[in-house]
Every structure is written in C-alpha cells, then in structure tokens.
Structure 1
Amino acid sequence: DWRCGVDLEKTLSVKDLSVKERKSIVGVVACLLGSKDEPELLLVNIDSWENDFFTKFCGFMELQKQIDSLSPLLHHSTDPTPFFDALGDRWVSDSMKARLALLILHFTIMDAGGYDSRVRVLLKRLISFLKLPWSWFCIHENNYAHSLKKAMEEAEKRQKEELKKKSNESRPKRWLKIGAAAVVGGGLLVLTGGLAAPALGIGLGVIGFGSVGAFVASGAGIATISTLFGAAGAGLTGYRMRKRLDGITEFVFCKLENDTGMQVVLGISGWLTDGVEDSENRWRDTLSAQFPLSELYSLNWESKCLLELGSGVRKFVLHKSVTTTISESLKMTLLTGVVAALAWPLVLLDLSSVIDNPWGIAMSKAQKAGVALADALIARSHGNRPITLFGFSMGARVIFYCLEELSRRQTAFENGDSHCPSEASQSESKSEQKSENDSLLTTKTTNGDNKQDELQSVLGIVEDVILLGCPCSSNQNRWTAIRRVVAGRLVNGYCQTDWVLKFLYRASEASYAVAGLDVIDVPGVENFDLSEFVPGHLSYDEKLEELVQHVMLINCDK
C-alpha cells in the first residue's frame, strides 16, 4: 500500500548506497533536469541553476568525480529509464521510490537552506516518471516536515536536561546555555504552530550525515528550519507592508487552516459581494479540496473598493437593457475587430457610468497591490517554501503585476541595476505607466537603505500561477517576462463570452487585447477556455471551486 509510512531513519542516508546506486540516482536527476519536452514544467534559468544544483547534488551523493561524465545529460532530453533500471529490483518498491524523492528534498533543504520551487517542479517530473500519484509524494513531503518538528522538540528537551545537569556551573556560562536553549525554543515555535502531522510512522534518527536532532541543534539547522516556515512561525500572517504604497490602505494575509505544510497556496479575490468572511470561506473550501496538506491563505486587500466593484459589476451585468442593446447594436453596424470593440453605441457608454469609477479605481489599486505582494514574497514572509498563486478578475490582475515586479527585479539583479525598468513597464498604457512610475519612484526615495532592496535573485519563489478572467494585457513580451519567474505552471483561464472584459477593460484601456478573453500565445503558458463553465465575468466567483478543480486536473493525473 503506497499510503504506508516510510521510516525516515533509514531513508535519507546515502552511506548504505553502493557506488552503482548513487551513480544511477545522479543519472536519473540529470535526465530530469535536462528534460525540456513539457512546457508547463519548464525550469527557468536552466543553464545556470541546473548546473549548480547538479554539481552540489553530486557532492551530496559523494560522486564529485562523476560530474564531468554525467553533466552532458543536462543539455539533452534523455530518457531516465536506463538509469532507474540500473538501480536494481529493490528500487521498484514504493518505499524505495519514496526514498529517491526524499533524498532530493532533504538535499535541497540542507544545501540551500530552503525549498526552492524549481526543486518541487523537478520532483513533479520524478513522480510523473515513476507513474505515482502526486498526492502520494505530498504525504511523504509532509511527513518529512513533521520529522523536523519532532527533532526540534527533542533538541529542546535535550537542551533543558543538559542545563539542569550543569546548573552548578558559573553564572556567565549558565546564562549562555539558557540563551542557546532559547534559540532552540524559538525554532520550535516555528514548527509547533499547527504543523499537520500525517498518520505515518516517523523515524527520528539518521538523516543524511547525522541524526535529525544533531542537524537541528546545530546553528545552521536552527536557522534553516526557522526560515523554512517563516519568521517566528507566523508565516504570511506576520507580514506587514514595509512601506505604504500610495492608495493602498488594506493588505492583510489571512490563514485559512491551522495546518502548516511544505507548500504555501494563496488565493486572491477580484471583488467582494458579501464581505471578507464570505471570500475567505470560499477560498478555504476551494483550496482545501485541492491542497489538503498545504498551508492555505487568502489576501484581504482594499475590501471597501472590492465591495463597491462587486456591487457595480452586478448592476452592470443584470441591467436588463445590456443584452438587448448589445445584440441590436451589433445587428445595425458593420464594424468589426478593434473598431467594433472601441466604437460602442452611446447607450452602452451611458451604462458604463454605473461602474466606471469603481472599475478604474480597482484597476489602479490592483496594480499597486501587485507590487506589495512582490515585496512580501521577496521578503520570504511565507518562509523558504514554494508558493502557488490563484486569482480571479482583479485578484488575477494583482498577481500579474506581482509577477511583473518580480521579473523587473530579476532583470535588475542580473544587470546589477537595482532600479532597471522591465519590458512590462515600458509597454504600459499611458495612464498605467504614470501610476507605476510614481510607485517605483516612491520605492526608490523612501526605501533605498532598506535591506530588502538589496539585489537578490527572485527565481525559485513562485511554483504555479492560475489566473482566471484576468483584466490585463495579453502582450506577448509581457507574458514572456512573467513566465520566467514561475517555475511550474502558468495558466490563463479565459472566457470568450465575458462582456464585462469585452466592454469595460477595452473601453477603459483603449486596448483590444485582454488576457481574460482569449489565448496567450507564449511558450510555457497554458490556456484554458472556460466558456462552458462561466457564461460571464460574475461566474468566476460563483464557480470558483469547480474552475480550480478543472484547471488542476492535469496535476491530479500526474
């Protein structure tokens, strides 16, 4: 039964593996790193990151001398089957397959001090190759996290016992030891804040080069685990905006479940109808069904604005004359394409006044909230773990601008210019460009000395992104730019019968191309036509759980 637990005491050590087994494992990893035939699992920045990861993994497997002979596999799509078959019959069992995956997970935690989203994408490739359910690995992944928690508890217990035995030592030394115990206790706080404990057998002994307790009790171990799950164990809920962006008065993360996992999932609503609690409940029901072992959050942002937008959109959509007017107007005109989209009948322009103000305000605030979200992710407020982002309507727009900001900062990191403009900002419409430039200027003048502004790579933070009915540009250059900062899937869910986007976005932006209406023709972007599920824009909220389940089916199969 693949649900049976794996004894981590014997799983994560490489000492008992033969040279042949270690070579075969490294060969499998090299082939999977070099696999480029699945656009949705494209590993960004492949040339530099994969080489660095592979070199260090060879060291972890004590095969430094094999790097030159196996590294060519990184640059070709090679079938890993021969390497896996070379492992022998004992690796056919599910427990040994779990060992293979957990070795990679443990290596990245020890080496990088965190869980890179690109490593999780690599593990998805491995589990797919092994023809096992992804949920199977998620259980073992969470089991590993739970073992860290138990190790922290044991480390704290040993520290207390040691202090008790040596209570007669000199006062200065005694206080030093109490300080050390406090550090361990602080690390424990990170992991005891509701960590999900799957009903699996958990070994607390050997992990890699030594016991879990030895690793955790070390300075490096305490620092690693403390940052893995977010500062002081609070995760995203402990985040506060380091700067107040002009016009953003509310930006708060809400934890939807008490569990803590190795993956963080964040949902962002595009408008509100019945208040913040209703939105939180909807995201809780939607995300918990798809990610039962993950740490789930929703973002509460500008709720007053979103309530006004929700009311305005509903009035617009339900206005009895809208459908009739559109139908009759199109019958009476020969305008097509861009002209038809922009030259709306005057009666429709009158209707736009119903929500013109809240729509325009929400568009601007979503852009600024996206920059704030990028700040939170770069600050690793969610810990050194992969994060997956879901959003519909204006919530999707928040995520889009978050990714653009991440892309801009990655470009700045690569160019050594902390304020290098991105292609996205250069392609803004005039109204949006002024707003973004003002925002960036504020960042420069008020936060130049902030540690967070120091150059750093932002790759490896975001795992998957799902955008539904996104009111943003479909410009290929902009989508290519954001694709590079997403390690896994980047999904554009669109509806061709969405009259809200057809009229309001196109009229307000004077642009015909909008992501939420059609396909994004960019390599690595998955497009889902949701027209059969959502007859209009309002349905994204009403059918959120069904839409997420439909879009995530590709992962369920894998």
Structure 2
Amino acid sequence: MSLSSSPGSSGDESSIIMGRNSNSGRGAFPRRGELDMTAIMNVEQKNSLQVLINNIIDDMQKDLCAIFDNLGTDHDPSEEGIKPPKATFNLIPNPRSDKYRHLYSSKDNGTEETQDAKIVLPEPTMLPAPILPPAPVMPPGFTLSPSQPLLTIPKSAEEASLMSGKTENEILSDSLSELKKDLLVYFGKWRTNVQKRLSDMIIKGNGTGGVHAGQGPQQGPGTARPKNKPNQGRAAIKQGGTDPATLASNDAMSRYYPATLSSLGNLPKEKRAMILHCIMLLLLGMEHYFSYSRRLLLHLATALQVPAHVLAQDEARVAGGLSQIVKGITSEEIIQKRTEEGKSSRRNKAGTTTSTATGSTVSLAPPLLAAGIGTVFGGAFGLGPATTAALLGSMADSTVTVGSLFGLYGGRPGGKTMESFLKDIPDFGMLPVYRSMKSSLTDPKDLPPQDRRMRVTICVNGWLTQESENVTAPWRFLGSQNEVYALRHEVEVMNKVGSSLDTVMKSAAWSLAKKEIASRTGNEHPSVPSDQQLNGFPVFASLNQALWPMGLLKISKLVENPWCAGMVRAEKTGLVLADALINKLQGERCVTLIGYSLGARVIYSCLMYLAEKRAFGLVENVVLMGAPCPTEMRAWGAMRSAVTGRLVNVYSKNDYMLGFLYRSSSWYYGVAGLQKVQGVPGVENLNETGIIHSHDHYRHLLGGILKKLSWEDISYAQIAEDEEMLAQLVAQQEKLDRERDQAARVDATDLDKSTQKAQESLKHKENRKGIGRKGGRKQNK
C-alpha cells in the first residue's frame, strides 16, 4: 500500500490513498459472431487496419504510463509561482506496530518508559515467532550514528533520496504505483475486448474492396501516390465549409491526436469514411461508448485523414438512429424488459438475418435502417443490414441495451437514479442547455430522443447572480453536437456567493486594495526562504507575507463567509457528481466536464473521487478555469489518470480576489487558478493573465477561453456577444473608479484648503495674542 498526499482536499493531506475498487467490468462479453467486411475492404486492407489499431492502442498505453513514469520531470522556473512541498516519502511504517517497532528508538515510537506506561500484561501463549522485515539497506556513503534509529522519517526531499536510494521523480512515481497498476489493468481489459472484436472480422475470398461501379479504381495498400497528382487523402474530404470553429477543431485534432502512419490514408474518401464508421459501430457493439473508445476513434480519424467534424456528424447520425429505438419507452418499461431478458440482455435477439458464425439470427432495427446506419455519403457506399447488425450486436435492436447507453435506467441493474441523489443535495439536477421542448427538465433520462447525442458535456458554474433559471445562461455558446447540461446545485449558496462577490468587486475598498496589491513587486519577508522569493508575483507576495490591505480586511466578512460555505458545498457536490457518473446517470457514454471558480472545485473533487474509486474511462475532457485547488503533482497525477483526453488548467496571475479568498486554505500547495501546473505529463496550461483581471470575468469569457483552446462545436457569434457584454461591464466599472478618484481628489483638495484655512486662522490668533502682550508691556512701562 502506498501513501500519496493530496493537500487542499477537505484539509486531508492523505485523501488520495486509494483502495482497490475496480470499475472495469461490463459483465460477460456479448456473444461473438463473424463480421463479414468483404463489401468494403480486401484482406490486405483488413490486416493493415488491425495493425493500425493495435499501434494506436500501444501509443495510448504508453501515454498512460508516461503520466506516472515522467511525473515531476517538466519544470519551468520562471513559471514556478508557489512551490508545493516536495515529496519526502511514499510509505510511513507505523512505529507502534509489532512489525516495525524494532526499527525505531523508544523515543520515536512513543514507548518511552514512564510510570503511567508500565502495565503488567499476562504471559502470552506460545505462538510462532513473527517474520520481521529485514533491516533496510543503506546506500553507499550513508553513515548512521549510534544514537540514530534504524528507520527515520525523512525531513526533506534530499534526505529521502539519500535514505531510499531513489531520485525525487522515482519517489513521486512510487507514491502512485498502486493507481498506475489498477489503471493499466482496466485499460488491458478494454484492449482485450477491442482486439477480440477486431479478430472477428473476416474477408471472404480476396474481398471486393468495396469500390462500386463508377467510383474509380481502388488503390492497394502501400501503393505510392502518383507523382504530380493531388493528395487524395485529407484534401479529398471537404473541411466542412469555412466555419472558423470547424477549421480550428480540425486542426486541433491533428495536434492533440497525432496520426499513426498507415497506407490506409491513401484510400479513396468513401472507403476511409466507411472504415471509420464501421469501427465506431464495432466499438458500440461492446455496449458502451466510453472515453477510450472515443480517443481510439480520434487517433484513427487522423490516421485516415478524416476531419474531426466528419466524425462528429457521424456520431450525431448514429445517436439519432439509436434514440429512435427507445422513443416513447419509459424507464419503467426498460426495467421490465431488463427483468424479462435477464442474462440474454447482452446477446443478440432473434431476428430475420442469419449470422454465419453461430447460426443465430440478428436484425437491424427499422430506425437504424432509416437513418442509413452502416452506410456513408447518403447510402451510396456501405455494408448490408446483416453485417451492420453483427457489428452493433445487441445495440442493433435491444431497447434495454440502447436505453442503458442513454441512461434511461443507469448503466447496470440497481444503479442509482436522479431521485436518490436528491437526498444528498435537495436541488441537484442537470438542466439541458438546448432542448426542443421548453420544460423544467432536471433528469437526463427525460430528454427528447431528437436531442440525444453520443457524448455528454456537464458544465458547472462557480456562482449565480440571479434565479436558478440562469444556470444555463453562461453556456449558450456551446453547440448541439453534444448533450450539454448545466449542473444545478446548492442554488441558495451559489446566489449568496455571486451577490457577495458583486458587492465587494464594486466597492471602493476593493478598487484601492487592487492598486495596493499590484504595487508589490517583491517579497522581503524575513521568514520566507530565498528560493521562495516571488518577484513579479504580487498575489503570491501577499499570500507569503500574509499582508493584505486593511480596507479589504474590514469588508472581508461580506464575501468570506459565503465563499467558505461554497467551498464546503463544492466538495460535497463533487462527490455526488462522481457517484452519479459511476452509477451511469449519463448512461454508457463518455463525459466532458467544464467549470470555473467553485465549479472547478466541484470538478477537482469529482476527479479525485473517481481516481480513488478506480472509475476509469468515464471522463473524456476537462477544463478548469480559475480553480481554487492545489497544484501538487501527485494530486494532478491522480486526476490525470481519470481523464482520457485533454486536461486543461486556465489561470491568471492577476486574479487578486482568488488569492485573497484562498488565503485560508492550503495555498502553500499552490493555487491552480493563479499559476501553472507543472511536472504532470498531459496537463495543458493556458495563461490568461492579460485578459482575466478580475475573478468575476471568467463568467463572461468562458467561450473566449474555449475558443483559444480550439474547442469543437462552439458559436463564435455568441462568444462575441458575451465578450461585448463584459466590455460594457468593465467600462462601467472604470467609469465608477474614475468618478471615485475624482471625488477623492476633490475631497483631498477641500481637506487641504480647510487645513490651510485652519492653520492661517490659528496663526492669525497667535499674532493677535502677541500684539496684545506687547501692548500690555508698553502700558506697564
């Protein structure tokens, strides 16, 4: 068992000690049958496809190992900010236990003899002597004084490295060794299932290659493109018009999911699009669409030179067909059908088309036929219904399997429903950002079929400014290719946080405090070590010195009390959200999490709990903006294990309010919303110091930040409106500050005039007194 500290999470520095609770299983694998791919490829192309997918999966596994093996290797001293304490151990033996007591001195293990400690115990019975661990082997050059115990707790990273004979990076990696082992076990099970499905593909004869009459000659695998001819790869599939969001997401996919070289990229566009479509159906045949499957498709799309928007449109088309299978079916009917089918719910149901492998029959539901599932380019090129049904397995017509995919009754029998989460948080709910029917939906299973998608996005607000109906307002820029929900939770607390922030941000005390904090460019506090000097980081200087403007401290209670309550509720909400994901409230689909401020704290708590419960493969992408959470490497390494795709930290060094509010938390472990997260492979950092000048700016810049991240399916027009609204608010605040400065100057001028007048009056009185004394002396003479 290894120990890894996660400071900043509910004040418990050991909150990511993780027990084994694997979330890897989907039960027995569905009945397998031959997948006749003769209609779209030949033997060489099938073999090339299998090799390509195996290479992609190998690269995915290497990326998972790099999270732990390269922990702590990437550092930029100029972006260090607050340095979290270095790891000094990954295991502390208990000095009071019989197993390790002999390795400690009596003073260290607290057994020093005293009158109170002398207790006569009965004579023990004869038992076999316990097997004690051998004495630790000290590295060369290590000397042990006679008074020093055999085993001591290191007090620094250097001492820990000397005692263990390991580097700091190795100590960091060892602290998450159990997590790495469990992650690779889960990934290995998913990999085995995918490879089993791939091995079921067969080609009868030599295969036709799938080129219909009139579509031109087929290019064999490994054949070089003719010289002086245009590339028939990526350029053959259009980029979806001139939409800048689409072009940006296409370019981002090629950067974040680099292509693996393959001769399949030379094939005609119809065949490449069809291969990608078939692999999506094959992965859906595993009865889920988790984040590892999604990432495999993204890598395969870049290898086949298929743009990102083509994959997204194909996902929406498949989701539309599948959702029609369960149209009009309630969750109660799903429960009844699940009970009736029993163990056969994971098998292909009886139909009209015979499978060549098992002799059983499978069918393709009419909604899937109507949607053209199994074909591309409007049905001009594709598979037959039998092969399409074989690829989908029970997903082809089983209402139970499709209902579980979309979360109509959780992902497994006995799974929690939305009503059960209301016991923990009374107003917990997920409000659809886009829906065809205007209603007060708070449960994803009540969404109309036409609004269902293959992927889910959950957005978490940091605070609210008005009524709960505006929970969805900041997220209107997100498109409709995903199921987008805004998480509603603790509305009363979030409203108090929003109103208190608004009050303090508009106060004269805050305007003066910002100027005073910004004027601090160094750190001369004598108790701060020289390597912690934070020149150029005024917020960190204030945190280190515990020196904040007096005017700000006087009004701090206005915002601190709601903020502290919000932090506690955010921790609880994160645990409830993680429990909802584990119980498949979203169905058997991958989830993207986006949040700012306290919403980012909710996601931080959620990811830590998912890592602790070994719930891998549920979360695809995560974006944290202005997050009030630590930057400790082991905590972010654990979070990274729960995220398959992109994990982004957005921060601003000018966010003085976040620094002020976080000063009572474990800020010495770093503040993610103020600095860069370093040393964790796969974590992206976006520095928005030049744009984010106040913590309340995040609410209006959510779309602009995602635009910089080349996010897919966002509305640039809505983003422009949000930025224009922020510009107006900033202009109003600047006008108010100018008026206050002018009034302050007038008051100072009036004060100077009154002071000068008082001084002149006092001088005049003194002169009159002097003249009176002189006159009196003359009369006496």
Query: Same fold judged by TM-score > 0.5?
Result: yes
Quick one: structure 1 residues 145 and 325, their matched pair in 2 at CA, closer, same or farther if it must change by over 3 Å?
closer
Matches within 5 A, 1:66-465: 80-84=260-264, 92-110=267-285, 112-149=286-323, 201=378, 205-206=384-385, 208=387, 210=389, 215=394, 221-231=398-408, 239-242=418-421, 244-245=423-424, 248-258=425-435, 259-283=451-475, 285-288=476-479, 292-328=480-516, 334-335=524-525, 337=534, 340-341=542-543, 342-410=546-614, 458-465=615-622
**Is the CA contact 1:205–1:212 (under 8 Å) kept in the aligned structure 2?**
no
Q: Distance in 2 between matches of 1:538 and 1:491?
A: 20
Deviation at 1:297, TM superposition (A): 0.7
Q: Distance in 1 between matches of 2:393 and 2:297?
A: 26
Quick one: structure 1 residues 330 and 388, their matched pair in 2 at CA, closer, same or farther if it must change by over 3 Å?
closer
Counterpart residue number, 2:630:
473
**Is the CA contact 1:116–1:384 (under 8 Å) kept in the aligned structure 2?**
yes
Q: Distance in 2 between matches of 1:386 and 1:485?
A: 12
Q: Distance in 1 between matches of 2:261 and 2:549?
A: 62
Q: Give the SS at the match of 1:355.
A: helix
**Is the CA contact 2:649–2:673 (under 8 Å) kept in the aligned structure 1?**
yes
**Is the CA contact 1:499–1:537 (under 8 Å) kept in the aligned structure 2?**
yes
Q: Distance in 1 between matches of 2:668 and 2:392?
A: 59
Tell me if 1:21 matches 2:45.
Answer: yes
**Is the CA contact 2:405–2:587 (under 8 Å) kept in the aligned structure 1?**
yes
Deviation at 1:53, TM superposition (A): 4.2
- Give 1 or 2 for the bigger CA radius of gyration: 2
Q: Distance in 2 between matches of 1:216 and 1:361?
A: 45
Counterpart residue number, 2:672:
515
Deviation at 1:205, TM superposition (A): 4.9
Deviation at 1:388, TM superposition (A): 0.6
Counterpart residue number, 1:489:
646
Deviation at 1:293, TM superposition (A): 1.5
Q: Distance in 2 between matches of 1:339 and 1:540?
A: 23
Tell me if 1:530 matches 2:688.
Answer: yes
Q: Distance in 2 between matches of 1:384 and 1:300?
A: 22
- Once the two structures are overlaid, the 10-residue window that deviates more, 313-322 or 390-399, is 313-322
Counterpart residue number, 1:52:
192
**Is the CA contact 1:255–1:296 (under 8 Å) kept in the aligned structure 2?**
yes
Quick one: structure 1 residues 204 and 376, their matched pair in 2 at CA, closer, same or farther if it must change by over 3 Å?
farther
Q: Distance in 2 between matches of 1:38 and 1:533?
A: 36
Deviation at 1:58, TM superposition (A): 3.0
Tell me if 1:546 matches 2:742.
Answer: no
Q: Distance in 2 between matches of 1:409 and 1:51?
A: 21
Deviation at 1:350, TM superposition (A): 1.9
Q: Distance in 1 between matches of 2:558 and 2:299?
A: 49
**Is the CA contact 1:28–1:83 (under 8 Å) kept in the aligned structure 2?**
no
What amino acid is the match of 2:685? Answer: N
What amino acid is the match of 2:423? Answer: R
Quick one: structure 1 residues 379 and 50, their matched pair in 2 at CA, closer, same or farther if it must change by over 3 Å?
closer
Quick one: structure 1 residues 353 and 130, their matched pair in 2 at CA, closer, same or farther if it must change by over 3 Å?
same
What amino acid is the match of 2:557? Answer: S
Quick one: structure 1 residues 516 and 237, their matched pair in 2 at CA, closer, same or farther if it must change by over 3 Å?
farther
Q: What is the percent sequence identity of the aligned residues? A: 27
Quick one: structure 1 residues 149 and 318, their matched pair in 2 at CA, closer, same or farther if it must change by over 3 Å?
closer
Q: Distance in 2 between matches of 1:509 and 1:242?
A: 29
What amino acid is the match of 1:141? Answer: E
Q: Distance in 1 between matches of 2:427 and 2:460?
A: 13
Quick one: structure 1 residues 149 and 267, their matched pair in 2 at CA, closer, same or farther if it must change by over 3 Å?
closer
Q: Give the SS at the match of 2:37.
A: coil
Q: Distance in 2 between matches of 1:325 and 1:147?
A: 58
1:374-411 CA-partner distances (Å, limit 9, x unpaired): 0110111111111111101111110110001101101x
What count of residue pairs does the alignment treat as equivalent?
Answer: 439
- Once the two structures are overlaid, the 10-residue window that deviates more, 377-386 or 499-508, is 499-508
Deviation at 1:214, TM superposition (A): 8.7
Q: Give the SS at the match of 1:538.
A: helix
Q: Give the SS at the match of 1:273.
A: coil
- Once the two structures are overlaid, the 10-residue window that deviates more, 272-281 or 23-32, is 272-281
Q: Give the SS at the match of 1:344.
A: coil
**Is the CA contact 2:455–2:483 (under 8 Å) kept in the aligned structure 1?**
yes
Q: Distance in 2 between matches of 1:489 and 1:78?
A: 14
Q: Give the SS at the match of 1:514.
A: coil
Q: Give the SS at the match of 1:523.
A: coil
Q: Distance in 1 between matches of 2:321 and 2:65?
A: 29
What amino acid is the match of 2:457? Answer: V
Q: Give the SS at the match of 1:360.
A: helix
Quick one: structure 1 residues 38 and 95, their matched pair in 2 at CA, closer, same or farther if it must change by over 3 Å?
farther
Deviation at 1:331, TM superposition (A): 5.2
Point out where structure 1 has 5 or more consecutive residues left out of the alignment. Answer: 1-11, 64-76, 156-175, 411-457
**Is the CA contact 1:360–1:508 (under 8 Å) kept in the aligned structure 2?**
no
Quick one: structure 1 residues 348 and 282, their matched pair in 2 at CA, closer, same or farther if it must change by over 3 Å?
closer
Q: Distance in 2 between matches of 1:41 and 1:271?
A: 37
Deviation at 1:149, TM superposition (A): 4.4
Q: Distance in 1 between matches of 2:299 and 2:713?
A: 11
Q: Give the SS at the match of 2:458.
A: strand
Deviation at 1:204, TM superposition (A): 9.5
Q: Distance in 1 between matches of 2:549 and 2:669?
A: 16
Q: Distance in 2 between matches of 1:550 and 1:37?
A: 28
**Is the CA contact 1:108–1:119 (under 8 Å) kept in the aligned structure 2?**
yes
1:483-537 CA-partner distances (Å, limit 9, x unpaired): 0011101110111110111111123445361111111111111101122332211
- Once the two structures are overlaid, the 10-residue window that deviates more, 461-470 or 539-548, is 539-548
Quick one: structure 1 residues 261 and 345, their matched pair in 2 at CA, closer, same or farther if it must change by over 3 Å?
same
1:172-204 CA-partner distances (Å, limit 9, x unpaired): xxxx99xx9xx99xxx99x99xx9x9x973689
Counterpart residue number, 1:442:
none
TM-score by length of structure 1 reads 0.69
Q: Distance in 2 between matches of 1:309 and 1:364?
A: 12
Deviation at 1:231, TM superposition (A): 1.3
Q: Distance in 2 between matches of 1:492 and 1:477?
A: 15
What amino acid is the match of 1:25? Answer: L
Deviation at 1:18, TM superposition (A): 2.4
**Is the CA contact 1:371–1:401 (under 8 Å) kept in the aligned structure 2?**
yes
1:54-106 CA-partner distances (Å, limit 9, x unpaired): 5323323249xxxxxxxxxxxxx997424426xxx6xx222211222122211
